[in-house]
């Protein structure tokens, strides 16, 4: 077992037009009790001074500004590729620019990982809102169908075994990414973290570690069933791609998650103030979801990370 101090951890932060929140994220990374070994910031063509702020922050190792906004999906795909190819990461710590890790966050993830008796693919933090309540948007469910021994192994290290995680503080094994590939950049926004982590965890072990704490500073506290407006197009399109194109889910999981999705969409529609518009956005997403998504290599071909992305995707057999 590799001791936590010997593991090379590279943090990846995706930023877009939230320079004040980004500053808090970077300050949180700088304050880690177990320091990160490198920090990569992917600036998604921000129109504020996010890139300049990141470049001047002492904790940041590299800032890459993309020529256009590629969404969270494209940003994380780019950042993970850079962390692996340019910074020799053993593990990649992913977070949005509205995530503020508390000082013990990384140490708790690494300790749980090292103490677990078997191989681990990823470990996720507990995300709290401004007032300290656990954010329901980022609370993963326990993995369905766990054996008694698998549950006991996770419990023994203060964790729960999960099937997926969000990009609000998740530590990912670099070898698993090289095997299974990068996030799907074509998703742009919504479900990209679910698809990526579920793909890595189809046969891997994921740990939810409540002792690792971060703040997720969203404007609103709540679940993901509020009316998202035009972004519902992304939700429907990406869910169709997930259920029909992605290797992340087996037959049983597809049925379980499809049922859960339909129930959530029904709640969303019932609560919407403009149901006609929501249906229109959903229909547009459904039409787009029928086609095959372009590869991550193709989506990021015109960016400064194109070669890094292509190398990872070729190695995973996804180019």
CA atoms of 12 and 95, how far apart (whole Å): 6
CA atoms of 248 and 195, how far apart (whole Å): 6
For the packed helices 251-271 and 232-245, what is the interaxial angle rounded to 10 degrees?
A: 170
Per-residue model confidence as pLDDT tens digits over 154-192: 999 999 999 999 999 999 999 999 999 999 999 999 999
Top pLDDT among 221 and 38 is at 38
- Determine the pLDDT at residue 1: 63
CA atoms of 149 and 102, how far apart (whole Å): 31
Give CA angle at 240 (202, 181), nearest 5°: 40
Confidence of residue 5 (pLDDT cuts 50, 70, 90): confident
Averaged pLDDT score across all residues of the chain: 95
- Determine the pLDDT at residue 79: 98
Over residues 63-86, mean pLDDT? 98
For the chain, domain boundaries: 4-220+296-315
3-state secondary structure of 168: coil
- Determine the pLDDT at residue 222: 67
Confidence of residue 319 (pLDDT cuts 50, 70, 90): confident
Q: Are strands 160-162 and 62-65 parallel, antiparallel or unpaired?
A: unpaired
Per-residue model confidence as pLDDT tens digits over 23-70: 999 999 999 999 999 999 999 999 999 999 999 999 999 999 999 999
* Res 223 pLDDT > 80: no
Q: Burial level of 122, CB count in 10 A (0-12/13-18/19+)?
A: buried
- Determine the pLDDT at residue 283: 96
3-state secondary structure of 130: coil
- Determine the pLDDT at residue 226: 77
- Determine the pLDDT at residue 263: 93
Q: Which phi-psi region, left, alpha or beta, contains residue 137 (left: φ > 0; alpha: ψ -120 to 50)? A: alpha
φ, ψ of residue 27 to 5 degrees: the values are -60, -40
Give CA angle at 273 (268, 278), nearest 5°: 55
* Res 132 pLDDT > 90: no
- Determine the pLDDT at residue 165: 97
CB 184 within 8 A of CB 293: yes
* Res 195 pLDDT > 90: yes
* Res 2 pLDDT > 80: no
Which one-letter DSSP state was computed for residue 7? S
- Determine the pLDDT at residue 136: 84
CA atoms of 91 and 207, how far apart (whole Å): 14
CATH code: domain 4-220+296-315 is 3.90.550.10
Cα Rg of the chain, angstroms: 19
Per-residue model confidence as pLDDT tens digits over 234-260: 999 999 999 999 999 999 999 999 999
281 strand-pairing partners: none
Confidence of residue 88 (pLDDT cuts 50, 70, 90): very high
Give CA angle at 169 (48, 195), nearest 5°: 95
CB 123 within 8 A of CB 113: yes
- Determine the pLDDT at residue 224: 63
């Amino acid at each position: 077992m590799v001791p936590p101090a010997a593991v090379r951890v590279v943090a990846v932060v995706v930023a877009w037009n939230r320079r004040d929140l980004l500053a808090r994220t970077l300050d949180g990374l700088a304050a880690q009790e177990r320091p990160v070994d490198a920090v990569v910031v992917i600036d998604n063509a921000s129109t504020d001074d996010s890139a300049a702020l990141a470049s001047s922050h002492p904790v940041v190792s590299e800032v890459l500004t993309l020529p256009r906004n590629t969404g969270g999906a494209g940003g994380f795909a780019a950042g993970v590729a850079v962390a692996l190819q340019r910074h020799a990461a053993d593990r990649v710590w992913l977070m949005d620019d509205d995530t503020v890790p508390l000082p013990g966050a990384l140490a708790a993830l690494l300790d749980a990982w090292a103490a677990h008796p078997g191989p681990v693919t990823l470990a996720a933090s507990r995300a709290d809102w401004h007032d300290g309540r656990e954010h329901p948007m980022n609370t993963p469910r326990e993995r369905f169908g766990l054996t008694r021994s698998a549950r006991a192994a996770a419990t023994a290290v203060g964790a729960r075994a999960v099937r997926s995680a969000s990009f609000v503080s998740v530590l990912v094994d670099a070898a698993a990414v090289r095997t299974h590939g990068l996030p799907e950049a074509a998703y742009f926004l919504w479900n990209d973290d679910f698809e990526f982590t579920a793909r890595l965890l189809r046969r891997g072990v994921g740990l939810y570690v409540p002792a690792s704490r971060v703040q997720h500073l969203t404007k609103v506290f709540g679940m993901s069933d509020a009316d998202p407006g035009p972004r519902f197009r992304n939700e429907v399109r990406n869910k169709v791609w997930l259920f029909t194109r992605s290797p992340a889910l087996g037959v049983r999981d597809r049925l379980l998650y499809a049922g859960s999705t339909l129930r959530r969409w029904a709640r969303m529609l019932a609560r919407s103030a403009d149901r006609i518009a929501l249906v229109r956005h959903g229909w547009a997403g459904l039409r787009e979801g029928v086609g095959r998504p372009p590869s991550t290599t193709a989506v990021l071909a015109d960016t400064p990370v194109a070669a890094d992305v292509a190398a990872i995707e070729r190695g995973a057999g996804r180019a």
